[in-house]
């Protein structure tokens, strides 16, 4: 199903975000807090709604050359919303405000020691992105119809864990958790379902 980039779609997604019963994490407090932005924008050269996905720069010390949502670690005293807005501006040059936030999804604990809060945002004007080359190799606009495909996500078993590994299939590339888990939960919210993802596993290469 296609979602036109208009006020009606924003209102619909904001309503589903507001109705989403966010689960408070009971994960150990020694995890470092982080936030990511699930930013809804207009598709390139079109009128559909998309989300922004980045490919991390090759020179980064951690998780280089991996697919990611804009975001990073929360600074001391910073809320997840503040961190997600700051990181979005630092990485992509996109300046949004708390008024552009339309929802917050479940925290996701990672194997690398972070507790990630996904912040859902609407960017009415995203024509002039300015990616920081030190952090971002490329930026992609993923139409919401793509994440709603029946075969967009798959789940696999690995011998190292009893938890299922989640993957998102993106034009020949596999995107793994935590990013895949967060996009999967958003796709479920978009469909009007409250689906938990904290128990979805990450591949072994993301465990450090």
* CA-wise closest residue to 70 among 120, 128, 11: 120
pTM: 0.93
- Say if residues 109 and 152 touch (Cβ distance below 8 Å): no
Per-residue model confidence (pLDDT) at position 173: 83
So what CATH class is 7-147? alpha beta
Q: What whole-number distance in Å separates Cα of residue 86 and Cα of residue 173?
A: 28
pLDDT in tens, 66-88: 889 999 999 999 999 999 999 99
Q: Which of 61-65, 76-80, 119-123, 204-208 has the lowest mean pLDDT?
A: 61-65
Per DSSP bridges, beta strands 173-176 and 161-170 are: antiparallel
User: Domain boundaries in the chain?
Assistant: 7-147
Q: Is the pLDDT of residue 133 over 70?
A: yes
């Amino acid at each position: 199903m296609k979602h036109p980039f208009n006020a009606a779609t924003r209102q619909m997604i904001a309503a589903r975000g507001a109705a989403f019963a966010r689960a408070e994490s009971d994960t150990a407090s020694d995890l470092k807090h982080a936030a990511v932005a699930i930013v809804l924008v207009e598709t390139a050269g079109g009128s559909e709604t998309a989300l922004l996905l980045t490919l991390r720069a090759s020179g980064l010390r951690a998780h280089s050359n991996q697919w990611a949502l804009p975001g990073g670690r929360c600074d001391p005293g910073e809320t997840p919303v503040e961190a997600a807005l700051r990181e979005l501006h630092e990485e992509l040059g996109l300046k949004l405000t708390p008024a552009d936030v339309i929802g917050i999804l479940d925290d996701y604990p990672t194997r690398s020691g972070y507790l990630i809060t996904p912040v859902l945002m609407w960017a009415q004007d995203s024509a002039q992105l300015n990616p920081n080359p030190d952090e971002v190799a490329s930026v992609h606009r993923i139409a919401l119809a793509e994440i709603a495909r029946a075969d967009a996500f798959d789940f696999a078993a690995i011998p190292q864990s009893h938890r299922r590994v989640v993957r998102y299939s993106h034009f020949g590339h596999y995107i793994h958790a935590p990013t895949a888990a967060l996009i999967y939960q958003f796709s479920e919210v978009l469909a009007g379902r409250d689906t938990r993802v904290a128990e979805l596993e990450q591949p072994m290469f993301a465990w450090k």
